[in-house]
């Protein structure tokens, strides 16, 4: 019952978990190249947060109880590694769901609160496991050729349930402790077996995680961003996993099946918007730096594009501020951000993201993808030529400018950049989902009343 150090965290992963990558089972996570950076990041987070004492608690277990605390949480979150972020988001999503289903099921709400305390007291890291395999998207879970296409209960025992299925896109699963499993969508009557939410330790028998990773494994100097920030993407197989009752948060109550996904969606999109706001600023910064290095920062069309990027970053941030300013309290006194503003901001930020990348590429020029490697910069014969010819304006030297191009390539036009392009669109459920939720939470009756008044068609 205490916080873990980085070393304790690394040791804790040696728990029998079954991890696969590159066509083989990974016997020693700590030494496998696909996980090195992720483990460094997470262990570093433990080390940085660690405080001694039996009742020390990580700040990522904070439940915001005011708009100010919610704002503080978002600022802290930007400094955390991804698995710490998902721990906070996943548990807040569970608590949000608890608040929403408590009137119907006090028992599930109690279990969720107990689980939250368990994670907090043991300083565990959690990931949310939500997206199912889905099979044929046009058919419901019960109409699939393979009933396991959506994760389901295959056995109900007195002491718990047995679940089977797969959960996709589970970032960092291999380096965390807990899987927070939720239904991927609303289940209908008759689909009780697919209405399942629960918590599963990563090392539970039957859990197998296949990992992919976009990051380069060598030439770190040419990959200044992704060599320091990358996480494995987990394909989580639940091969008849037993879950004891105390960790079951939904087991057939279809009327609550969408509550978890909606709750998670809210927190994921809020966190996603916070990251988009920071990325927006980062893209502006990169654009300004590379324009200055090229000596084009006063060229009119370059300035215009940077101004558009400034407006983008500022509007995403405005959406975030409005989501917080319009946060509402649950009966428990927990503060949840505004669904409307969160979704609108996330949609805008994600939808325009690729245009901002285009602007950066337009400003930076072809050297983003053609700049020689740092190893060549350091070569005895050609290195001095590269430095000579890559020198731009007096800002920095040729090596500085070369490194800047590598950073832009790595961040926006290489494996990590491509991963970002996709995840910006897909995180929190895709653009379509964000439009749907924004419309649902919009005060349409007020808008219609405004329009009727304008048209002279109001009854009053």
Q: For CA atoms 333, 429, 143, 207, give the dihedral sign.
A: negative
Count of residues interacting with a second copy (CB under 8 A): 148
Q: CB burial class (10 A; 0-12, 13-18, 19+) of residue 208?
A: middle
CB of residue 351 to a second copy, shortest distance in Å: 8
Query: Cα torsion for 172, 173, 177, 178, to the nearest 10°?
Result: 120
Residue choice 68, 307, 328, 333 for contact with a second copy (CB under 8 A): 307
Cβ pair 183, 194 in contact under 8 A: yes
Q: Which is nearer to a second copy, 90 or 392 (CB)?
A: 392
Q: Which is nearer to a second copy, 104 or 358 (CB)?
A: 358
Q: What does the block give as tokens for 210?
A: 């296949």
Site for a second copy in 337-396 (CB under 8 A): 340-341, 343-345, 347-348, 351, 354-355, 357-358, 361-362, 364-373, 375-376, 378-379, 381-382, 385-386, 388-394
**Does 205 interact with a second copy (rule: CB under 8 A)?**
no
Site for a second copy in 228-247 (CB under 8 A): 228, 233, 235, 237, 239
Binding mask 110-149 for a second copy (x = CB under 8 A): ---------------------x-xxxxxxx-----xx-xx
Pair type for strands 19-21 and 207-212 = parallel
C-alpha to C-alpha distance for 183 and 156, rounded to whole angstroms: 17
Site for a second copy in 393-422 (CB under 8 A): 393-394, 400, 403-404, 406-409, 411-415, 417-419, 421-422
Q: Which is nearer to a second copy, 52 or 456 (CB)?
A: 456
Q: Which stretch binds a second copy (CB under 8 A): 119-127, 196-204, 246-254, 313-321?
A: 313-321
φ and ψ at 189, to 5 degrees? -55, 135
CB of residue 97 to a second copy, shortest distance in Å: 22
Q: What does the block give as tokens for 375?
A: 């190893």
Q: Which helix (DSSP H) or strand (DSSP E) does residue 129 occupy?
A: strand 126-129
Give every CB contact of residue 58 below 8 A, 6+ residues apart in sequence. 3, 49, 84, 120, 123
Q: Which helix (DSSP H) or strand (DSSP E) does residue 24 occupy?
A: strand 24-26
For 233-278, the three-class secondary structure string (H helix, E strand, C coil) is EEEEEEEEEEEEHHHEEEECCHHHHHHHHHHHHHHHHHHHHHHHHH
CB of residue 66 to a second copy, shortest distance in Å: 15
Q: Which is nearer to a second copy, 2 or 162 (CB)?
A: 162
CB of residue 99 to a second copy, shortest distance in Å: 24
Q: Which is nearer to a second copy, 101 or 171 (CB)?
A: 171
Residue choice 72, 321, 332, 397 for contact with a second copy (CB under 8 A): 321
**Does 174 interact with a second copy (rule: CB under 8 A)?**
no
**Does 460 interact with a second copy (rule: CB under 8 A)?**
no
End-to-end CA, the chain: 64
């Amino acid at each position: 019952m205490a916080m873990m150090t980085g070393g304790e965290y690394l040791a804790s992963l040696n728990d029998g978990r079954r991890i696969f990558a590159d066509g083989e089972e990974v016997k020693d996570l700590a030494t496998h190249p696909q996980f090195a950076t992720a483990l460094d990041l997470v262990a570093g987070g433990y080390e940085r947060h660690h405080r001694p004492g039996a009742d020390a608690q990580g700040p990522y277990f904070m439940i915001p109880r005011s708009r100010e605390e919610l704002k503080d949480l978002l600022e802290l979150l930007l400094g955390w590694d991804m698995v710490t972020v998902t721990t906070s988001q996943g548990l807040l999503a569970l608590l949000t769901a608890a608040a929403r289903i408590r009137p119907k099921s006090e028992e599930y709400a109690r279990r969720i609160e107990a689980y939250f305390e368990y994670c907090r007291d043991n300083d565990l890291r959690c990931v949310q496991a939500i997206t199912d395999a889905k099979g044929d998207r046009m058919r419901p879970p019960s109409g699939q050729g393979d009933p396991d296409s959506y994760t389901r209960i295959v056995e109900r025992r007195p002491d718990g349930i047995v679940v089977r299925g797969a959960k996709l896109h589970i970032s960092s699963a291999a380096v965390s402790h807990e899987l927070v499993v939720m239904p991927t969508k609303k289940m209908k009557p008759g689909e009780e077996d697919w209405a399942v939410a629960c918590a599963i330790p990563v090392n539970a028998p039957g859990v197998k995680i296949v990992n992919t990773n976009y990051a380069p494994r060598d030439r770190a100097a040419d990959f200044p961003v992704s060599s320091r920030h990358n996480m494995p993407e987990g394909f989580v197989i639940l091969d008849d996993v037993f879950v004891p009752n105390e960790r079951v948060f939904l087991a057939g109550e279809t009327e609550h099946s969408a509550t978890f996904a909606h709750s998670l969606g809210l927190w994921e999109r809020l966190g996603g918007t916070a990251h988009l706001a920071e990325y927006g600023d980062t893209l502006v910064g990169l654009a300004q730096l590379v324009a200055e290095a090229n000596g084009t920062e006063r060229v009119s069309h370059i300035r215009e594009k940077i101004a558009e990027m400034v407006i983008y970053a500022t509007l995403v941030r405005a959406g975030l501020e409005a989501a917080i300013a319009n946060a509402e309290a649950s009966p428990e006194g927990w503060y949840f951000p505004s669904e409307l503003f969160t979704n609108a901001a996330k949609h805008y930020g994600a939808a325009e993201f690729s245009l901002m990348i285009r602007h950066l590429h337009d400003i930076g020029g072809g050297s983003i993808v053609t700049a020689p490697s740092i190893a060549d910069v350091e070569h005895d014969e050609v290195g001095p030529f590269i430095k000579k010819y890559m020198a731009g304006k007096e800002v920095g030297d040729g090596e500085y400018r070369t490194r800047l191009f590598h950073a832009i390539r790595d961040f926006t036009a290489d494996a990590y950049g491509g991963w970002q392009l996709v995840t910006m669109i897909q995180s929190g459920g895709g653009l379509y989902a964000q439009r749907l939720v924004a419309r649902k939470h919009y005060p349409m009756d007020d808008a219609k009343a405004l329009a009727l008044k304008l048209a002279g068609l109001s009854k009053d």
